[in-house]
Chain A
Amino acid sequence: MTVHWSSEIMKWEYRELQATAMSVDYSGNNVLLAGRRWLAIKHIGLDDVPTEIVKKYPRHSKYDAAGAEWCQTYPGQKLCAIASNQHVDVYEWRAGNDLMCICSLRGHTRVVSDTHFHRQDHNLIATCSIDTFTYLWDLRDTRKPVVSLSAVAGASQVQWNKVASNLVATAHDGDIKIWDYRKNSSPLHYISAHLCKIHGVDWSPHHEYQLVTSSHDGSIKYFDIHSARRPENIIMTNFPVWRAIYTPFGSGLLTIGVGWGGLPRVEQAGVIGIWIGGALTHRLVGHTDTVQTMVWRPNTLPSNYQLVTWGRDQTLRLWTMHPSLLKMCSHYLPDDSENDDNNSDTSYASTVSSTNDLSVSDSKGQDIQMNKIVHKTTTSIDEEFESIREMANIEVTDMNIETRTCQIHSERNGYTANLQVTFPRNVTEQTIPKFSWLSGTNVDGATTIKILQAINRTANRKKKEGHRCLLHCLKTLATSIDEIPVKSSDDSDSMKSSQRSQSESENAGDSCIPFPRTCGAKWCGVSTLVVFNRPTNARRLSLKHETGTPRSMSSLSLTPALFGTGYTSVSPHATTTPSPTNASGFPQLLHRHPSNSITTFYFQDRWKAQSRRAGSMRSRGSISGCTPPRVVLYATSSLFPLNRSLAEKYYINADNPVDMCERNAKVASDEGEGELSHAWGLAALVARSLAARPVDHFISGEESMGWTGHPLCCNLVQALISHYAKSSDLQMAAMLTCAFSAFNDTSNSSSQSIISTSSCGNGNNTSPYNTITQYSEISADGWTLPILRSNSCSEAENLNTEYSATKSEPSAACVVDDATVHLYHCFKRAYADVLHRWQLLYKRTEVMKLVRCKFELTSPGDGVGEAAWECAWCGRTVRGPACAACRRLALRCAVCGRGVRGLAVACALCSHAAHAQHMLAWFAQHDTCPAGCGCKCIIEGNSLWKGVKYV
């Protein structure tokens, strides 16, 4: 459920500024608005007086400010950076009224997309650009970047880790890279986060290893960078998400979208969503157009978090977080503490009473008294620090009175907690210090939030009482850590090892995906070679050529070293500054393209040249300007002995081998295949002798026996067949086996075999048999014709019965063993497949007729194909109109329900049949089967037959 309310407390409108970027300074009181013509600083003081006092500084630039940012450290709080086109200007705001440009960072070759000051070191700033580089600059020497992080795709975001000082995350299209800037040659982690462009990255304020990404694909993903293969959590929204940022309190998330899905844009643009626990819980409504920037106002009280936003409606708004919202995010609220004071008192009393330094037991009664001595305690940062010098279980690792921070390290039961405590400067009496986690903390996210809650509660209580709070807070910390269930050593070990193996083998998802093929050749059809390849103008860097083609896709992005320092490639899709300020609205859907980098991989020269020449960023379409990808089909029939025109002309008649061989010899010679013609001539001779043999048989002369055993008889044909098979002339081998039906059966040479062949071959070439044979396969495969059956199918059913009977005695004449017969059948079958591909279906059928199971046909009457159906009444399989068993018309009309006598039509797919007249009438009006099976007989039936190509 979404509660819908607006809680902005302040609103200012500045149309004339045309600002495109906004930032709030360290103090939280000054807002920088940057536009093409003006830079303006707006004071939003605590007094909350709606004032128009804005300091305006003219800035005459051709380019919009792509980003503006104040440095968020105390020493650097006067610094701000404004990104504009290819460079970043760093300004110093002196004495509250003078905005001076102190340096300009020039190094990027294309539009700078984001900047980010380091969280601790105000001299360090990271900038990233769609020229693929991320630079880190030291402001003391700005001639060139101190560190350069190189990637393949352009970077859209750069974010320093909020906890660990050396980690930085960059977003490249759909990927996130995590870098340790001390080791800049390659990223520490590589996260294939989204399929679309990532618009926003935000590190968790509480946890070193966690971050959240928002993408154009409408999803928000939480990642732990150590198990980067799978996001820890995913929130799917119905709109592209421009930004998703953690709430500084508890576990919430704020999002701004790029229009809200199907909802009218005008109404819904500008809505800020607050997500708690994966559900959209609240919406902040106020902006009338898309929100461009939202930042948490720094330096606010923990009980009073404020959000500052700037939208395209040119309004600056300040929002407070409703207490109920903070509570929902499981954030500790001082106001609520009274309610559970008793609980917390008891639980912490035990903690505290165990130490001798101070006792809280008197707190209740002395509230008033303590509040009187407030002045004494608040100023004493020294005292606060002094108080924690000697503590068990807690180690103070760093203490800096100037910056008013200290860092605490505690290690118990295998858990490590590193906490930073910052005492605010503009302190009021009740201000509690700010606690945040530092790197190295290995307590899980939910627990860290709970601990912070407990610490805040303690701090608040102590402050109210007028005590120093730090000591007690740290005691709370120590106790809380003790209370975390202890991991068994096995668990932690296995966890560690699994984590390690994960990060080693899985952190780069693409590292196990093979490098994409960009060139290939495939044999298709009978003799066509399909070739695709990179255009000839594609060229890799010679550097890469030496190292060979990489093996995995991650090479596209993980090996910056490969590209050398001079390499600047341009991701073709990052063509415009990814900012909502583009007049036409938001970036169009940019699908994620790992192959961007493939294209870049091969076309980088071109990209470089192009961008140099045109100087424009407008090259759209990844390989526009290059030859479009082509596929070339090569006819290679000359490489194969298969000849389609021969196949068309060859005569197949197993009944008369002599005639067949002679006619084919002529066909071959007509086609100019002299050798084949000669072979057919030899075959004809053999055929003639075989045909004569039955006569010889009666004579039973020595001569005839000699001839059949003669090498020029069967052996010659076999030798010819095996010769052609060996030289891959499947066509000739198969055709020869067709000619000699003697080879069709193991029960060879008997006249019976010839007869049975002819019984089958007698069928008219145009008989339905031809087509049905083909489709009998379908029914045999259980595909589409459940009832219509052909004779060959029924043959198959009867195979086993006849098996032993037909395994007849070998004849003395042409001894062909089982294996050879089988082989010959395989030849014919393979050749039939070739004919099928050539769409010579009649020829194919003629050949297939000769491929036979080793078994005789059971009933001679089956010679012609015929439909069979199940009797509509008794279910028996029936041929002919009436069922023999129940003596009724077997076929029932699906339309009128009566038996069908005469012309019937059946759907090939659902097999429902009806009177032809009824069927025609029905389908004139309907398109689904009259039997109500839902089959779209006309469409499906047609498509079923569509696969068949007739000559």
Chain B
Amino acid sequence: MISVLNTIDTGHEDMIHDAELDYYGLRLATCSSDNSVKIYDIKSGTQTLAADLKGHFGPVWQVAWAHPKFGNLLASCSYDRKVIIWKELGEWSKLYEYTGHESSVNAVAWAPAEYGLILACCSSDGSISILTYNQDGSTWDVKKVPGAHAIGVNSVSWCPAISADLSLDPLTNKDAPKRLVTGGCDNLIKIWKEQGDQWIEEKRLDMHMDWVRDVAWAPSLGLQRSMIASCSQDKRVVIWSSDDNISWTPTILNTFDDVVWSVSWSLTGNILAVSGGDNKVSLWRENADGQWLCISEVAKGLGQTTNDERSTL
């Protein structure tokens, strides 16, 4: 059922830490411990190296594509404490370099395009930075939330702009309240809300027993229910659901054999991809009874997929 579309030999000289396709699925960005970010054009089974971006002086942890309406923008964050926003203007070049963190920057995430060009970065120095592009001066406004998580912040994800709030105009969603979820080394998940020009902690979710490695806010179709997936060093993945963004109910998706490193929601928000230290990827879907079932496990490296349970769904 799951077929290999493309296999890209990245040519990185070291381990890859993140890979992401752009909005249209036509370009792949990868980043690695060899300090570089590479961009490939993907076309039906073939790929060509479009750019090899060098600017970081440490392993690059994560890359993120911005919405194409802002142009071709890519953000990358690294162990070298920097966040670089790259822009394609004929050639790829640095648009902006943010050096406001005092330790490794572990994750970057673009806000929903409706809000404008906004990037959230989180770092092992315990703070979150929100970079907002200010068109008037072509500058980036920086808002820093210090001490967001003790020890360090590992992951950040935006609340989708499409919301069930009736007073909002579905066409633009511009005025939807901005929310963020972060996970950190204090084993907590925190939800942040922008009020005025401040980011305030709206809620903290305490369930994990070790560092939270990744959080992901599920895309919204406009339904009342919002969901957040979180994964942790404690080998568990937890799905948090809420009808009002205030009270959250945790459900333990599964306890894995090894630590879980990342969670990712599909575009329509119904399938969760989980991966971790055991080098395996599994896909999970909620059935009608609200139970989460593993629908496939992409046995890593073997390219094999097992899909037994799908027929039962």
Interface residues of A, Cβ cutoff 8 Å to B:
195, 505, 509, 512-536, 538, 548-549, 551-552, 591-595, 598-599, 602, 621-623, 628-636, 638-640, 642, 725, 728, 730, 774-775, 777-778, 780-784, 792, 796, 799, 818-819, 822-823, 825-830, 833-834, 836-837, 839, 848, 851-854, 939-940, 943-944, 946-949
CA of A730 to CA of B162, assembled, Å:
14
Closest to A855 in B: B169
* Contact present for B17 and A518 (CB under 8 Å): yes
* Contact present for A520 and B18 (CB under 8 Å): yes
* Contact present for B2 and A635 (CB under 8 Å): yes
* Contact present for A594 and B19 (CB under 8 Å): no
Closest to A534 in B: B279
Q: Write out, one digit per residue, whether chain B residues 252-268 have a CB within 8 A of any chain A CB (1) or not (0).
A: 00000011011011111
| Shortest CB distance A643–B (Å) | 13
Closest to A595 in B: B33
CA of A829 to CA of B171, assembled, Å:
7
Q: Write out, one digit per residue, whether chain B residues 3-14 have a CB within 8 A of any chain A CB (1) or not (0).
A: 111111111111
| Shortest CB distance A379–B (Å) | 59
**A residues near B76, Cβ cutoff 8 Å:** none
| Shortest CB distance B78–A (Å) | 10
| Shortest CB distance A629–B (Å) | 4
Check if B106 is an interface residue, CB within 8 A of chain A. yes
**B residues near A826, Cβ cutoff 8 Å:** 162-164, 170, 220-223
Q: Write out, one digit per residue, whether chain B residues 103-138 have a CB within 8 A of any chain A CB (1) or not (0).
A: 110100000011111000000100000000101000
CA of A535 to CA of B303, assembled, Å:
11
**A residues near B133, Cβ cutoff 8 Å:** 783
* Contact present for B303 and A783 (CB under 8 Å): no
| Shortest CB distance B139–A (Å) | 13
* Contact present for A514 and B106 (CB under 8 Å): yes
* Contact present for A530 and B174 (CB under 8 Å): no
* Contact present for B58 and A521 (CB under 8 Å): no
| Shortest CB distance A732–B (Å) | 12
Contact partner, B89, options A530, A630, A940, Cβ 8 Å: A940
| Shortest CB distance A317–B (Å) | 36
Given contacts A599-B14, A632-B303, contact A522 B69 (CB under 8 A): no
**A residues near B89, Cβ cutoff 8 Å:** 939-940, 943
**B residues near A525, Cβ cutoff 8 Å:** 21, 23-25, 267
* Contact present for B273 and A523 (CB under 8 Å): yes
Check if B196 is an interface residue, CB within 8 A of chain A. no
**B residues near A526, Cβ cutoff 8 Å:** 25, 267
* Contact present for A822 and B164 (CB under 8 Å): yes
| Shortest CB distance B87–A (Å) | 8
Interface residues of B, Cβ cutoff 8 Å to A:
1-25, 28, 30, 32-35, 42, 57-59, 61, 68-72, 79-80, 88-90, 103-104, 106, 113-117, 124, 133, 135, 151-152, 154, 162-164, 166, 169-174, 185, 210-211, 213, 219-223, 233, 235, 258-259, 261-262, 264-271, 273-281, 283, 295-296, 298, 300-303, 305, 310
**Residue contacts A-B, CB under 8 angstroms, 22 given:** A513-B106, A517-B213, A519-B261, A519-B276, A520-B19, A521-B281, A522-B19, A533-B281, A533-B300, A534-B279, A534-B300, A549-B258, A551-B210, A593-B59, A623-B13, A633-B6, A634-B3, A777-B113, A822-B164, A826-B164, A826-B222, A949-B24
Closest to A778 in B: B69
Closest to A632 in B: B7
| Besides A518-B17, A639-B295, A946-B72, 14 new A-B residue pairs in contact (Cβ under 8 A), listed by A number | A520-B262, A522-B20, A522-B262, A523-B271, A529-B273, A535-B301, A549-B259, A630-B9, A631-B16, A633-B4, A634-B298, A725-B223, A830-B222, A833-B267
**A residues near B70, Cβ cutoff 8 Å:** 783, 947
Interface of B is mostly: loop
Given contacts A517-B262, A536-B300, A639-B283, contact A530 B268 (CB under 8 A): no
CA of A825 to CA of B302, assembled, Å:
43
Closest to A852 in B: B171
Contact partner, B71, options A520, A630, A947, Cβ 8 Å: A947
CA of A730 to CA of B271, assembled, Å:
13
CA of A516 to CA of B164, assembled, Å:
37
CA of A259 to CA of B300, assembled, Å:
47
* Contact present for A839 and B174 (CB under 8 Å): no
Contact partner, B103, options A509, A622, A796, A854, Cβ 8 Å: A509
**B residues near A548, Cβ cutoff 8 Å:** 235, 258-259, 277
CA of A477 to CA of B240, assembled, Å:
66
* Contact present for A521 and B273 (CB under 8 Å): yes
**B residues near A534, Cβ cutoff 8 Å:** 15, 279, 300-301
Contact partner, A523, options B113, B258, B264, B310, Cβ 8 Å: B264
CA of A818 to CA of B222, assembled, Å:
13
| Shortest CB distance B184–A (Å) | 10
Given contacts A521-B281, A783-B70, contact A594 B59 (CB under 8 A): yes
CA of A516 to CA of B302, assembled, Å:
22
CA of A774 to CA of B113, assembled, Å:
12
Closest to B62 in A: A517
| Shortest CB distance A600–B (Å) | 11
**A residues near B303, Cβ cutoff 8 Å:** 632
CA of A602 to CA of B283, assembled, Å:
25
* Contact present for B58 and A594 (CB under 8 Å): yes
* Contact present for B174 and A780 (CB under 8 Å): yes
CA of A512 to CA of B185, assembled, Å:
8
CA of A629 to CA of B279, assembled, Å:
13
CA of A513 to CA of B153, assembled, Å:
9
| Shortest CB distance B111–A (Å) | 11
CA of A730 to CA of B220, assembled, Å:
11
**B residues near A799, Cβ cutoff 8 Å:** 169
**A residues near B13, Cβ cutoff 8 Å:** 621-623
CA of A822 to CA of B220, assembled, Å:
13
**B residues near A854, Cβ cutoff 8 Å:** 169
Q: Pick from B17, B18, B113 the residue with the most CB of A within 10 Å.
A: B17
CA of A572 to CA of B149, assembled, Å:
35
| Shortest CB distance B252–A (Å) | 18
Closest to B270 in A: A728
CA of A634 to CA of B220, assembled, Å:
23
CA of A628 to CA of B10, assembled, Å:
7
* Contact present for A633 and B5 (CB under 8 Å): yes
| Shortest CB distance B268–A (Å) | 5
**B residues near A622, Cβ cutoff 8 Å:** 13-14, 33-34
* Contact present for B162 and A830 (CB under 8 Å): yes
**A residues near B235, Cβ cutoff 8 Å:** 548
**A residues near B58, Cβ cutoff 8 Å:** 195, 592, 594
* Contact present for A513 and B3 (CB under 8 Å): no
* Contact present for B300 and A834 (CB under 8 Å): no
CA of A944 to CA of B278, assembled, Å:
43
**B residues near A940, Cβ cutoff 8 Å:** 89
Closest to A822 in B: B166
Contact partner, A522, options B15, B72, B258, B273, Cβ 8 Å: B273
Closest to B115 in A: A781
